[in-house]
Amino acid sequence: MITISDVINSINYETAVEEIKDFILAYVEKAKARGVVVGLSGGVDSSLTARLAVEALGRGKVTAFILPTKATPREDVEDAVELARMLGIKYYMVEIDPILKAFENIPEYDVNDRVARGNLTARVRMSILYYYANRHNFLVMGTGDKSELMLGYFTKYGDGGVDLLPIGDLYKTQVREMARRLNLPTRVVTKPSSPRLWVGQTAEGELGVSYAEADVVLYALEIGTPQRRIAEVTGVEPQKIRAILRRVRENAHKRQPPPTAQLTKSRLYTKRAIKGGQLKT
């Protein structure tokens, strides 16, 4: 029987922390970047990511942006500010509702389409982070975890549009455990996950399964359990397993670069046409 404890305890946390820190430092140095910028939401993923970035690079090379809308609970903003101060990093707060308001002028804008508006919100946030990163030769630090990436629970070119994903190989339940071990605030560690793209949104409510259920199914899949046996070895209801696997399958495009029409057999791309790195026609 595979349990959530098996998932949580499947990694060595001390080793994982050091590997993530080494990854961050090596990636930033290879890119010859001056530092990283991260969006702080007040949730566990962004809080852990910021903490690891500070330990890897030093507080002077990490900048945070807190980007609330009217849908953002006050406690999330408070938690994000508290964490930035605890880490000793520079942070900016930008209310983005006025920016979103400007998009109401585009054709067929529907203020009641909360999914489209929510994805727009995520893309506006990422645009702000990239503007700052471009100005200062920083990298945009992603905060997505393995559960979100596998389930496709992120906005393409929004919170999914980043330069590196330090915690992208940690399941959500592992993220919470690592955050707990690193003494992040209890309220942050235990807070229900939510992108906060609209009022009352929660990740588990939208997914229709708990992260404990999702993680144990995804872990079973990862270690090679045949799909027909996942219900038997995890105890998760078959309809929930089907929903999880459907998300993994249908959102595969989010985890891949855009497809390209392959023209390599055309005249322009034959070995004969290319010489010395120059395209000869």
Token look-up 């520079």 returns 90
CB 27 within 8 A of CB 53: no
CB 162 within 8 A of CB 140: yes
Token look-up 């290319």 returns 274
pLDDT of amino acid 200:
73
Structure tokens at 228: 């027909």
Percentage above 90 pLDDT, the chain = 82
Question: What is the residue extent of each domain of the chain?
Answer: 12-206
Mean model confidence pLDDT for the chain: 92
Give tens-digit pLDDT for 44-74: 999 999 999 999 999 999 999 999 999 999 9
- Residue 280 confidence (pLDDT) above 70: no
Helix (H, G, I), strand (E, B) or coil at 242: helix
- 199 pLDDT band, cuts 50/70/90, is confident
Q: For helices 44-57 and 172-181, give the axis angle rounded to 10 degrees.
A: 50
Whole-model pTM? Answer: 0.90
Give tens-digit pLDDT for 201-258: 777 777 888 999 999 999 999 999 999 999 999 999 999 999 999 999 999 999 998 9
Q: What is the dihedral of CA 184, 207, 9, 191, to 10 degrees?
A: 20
- Report the CATH fold assignment for 12-206: Rossmann fold (3.40.50)
Q: Judging by DSSP bridges, how do beta strands 278-279 and 274-275 pair with one another?
A: antiparallel
